[in-house]
Amino acid sequence: MEIEEVYSSRELDKVEGKAINEFIARSQQIIPDPDRWLDEELDRNVLLTSVDAVLNWARRTSMWPVVCFPACCAFEFITTEASRFDLSRFGMEIVRASPRHADLMITAGTLTWKMAPQVKRIYEQMAEPKWVIAMGACAISGGIFASSYSVVPGYNRIIPVDVYVP
């Protein structure tokens, strides 16, 4: 706000009074609510439900693994179930015995051509959507045994692999 130049004290009082009255008028206006947008966001982003419904949703959308370890790398995975690493604190303590209940296949170790049809059958029995994790060099490319006549050079030759963990 700019105060114009005035030479008489009477005119100066009028200009200052006008400026003060404008300040007073502006201070009495209703301040817009800064949280007005929050009501719309709450309606779009907050869901009211029961605890049972949330728990059922979590169970329904959790990954249930089935393991496929036809070789020595099985021992490495078995240690994750032990107390030192405690995989159960991440909610993966229940490894499915039946592939029909699983949606995640964890593979590790050397896969032979003789075992390949069984791995393919296990994969086809899994529930949709399904994912496959290949852990280690043997599961990814056959590892040091890749040049052998009986070894499949990676699980991706038999089933689609989604995640590779070297």
Residue 101, domain CATH: 3.40.50.12280
What is the tally of structural domains in the chain? Answer: 1
> Does 119 reside within a domain?
yes
> Does 107 reside within a domain?
yes
Four-point Cα dihedral 111, 114, 116, 119, nearest 10? -90
What does the angle CA 142 – CA 146 – CA 147 come to, to the nearest 5 degrees? 175
Tokens of 120: 């393919």
81: left (phi over 0), alpha (psi -120 to 50) or beta: alpha
Cβ atoms of 87 and 93 within 8 Å: the answer is yes
Q: pLDDT by residue for the chain (166 residues), tens digit each? A: 555 565 677 787 788 778 777 777 776 677 666 666 667 766 777 777 787 777 777 666 667 777 777 777 777 777 776 767 776 676 666 666 677 777 888 888 888 888 888 888 889 888 888 888 888 888 888 888 888 888 888 888 888 888 888 8
The structure tokens 């056959």 sit at: 142
Q: Residue 150's domain spans which residues?
A: 58-165
pLDDT at position 128: 82
Q: How many CA atoms lie within 13 A of 48 on its CB side?
A: 2
> Does 71 reside within a domain?
yes
Kindly tell me the burial class for residue 36, based on how many C-beta atoms sit within 10 Å of its own C-beta (0-12, 13-18, 19 or more).
exposed
> Does 4 reside within a domain?
no
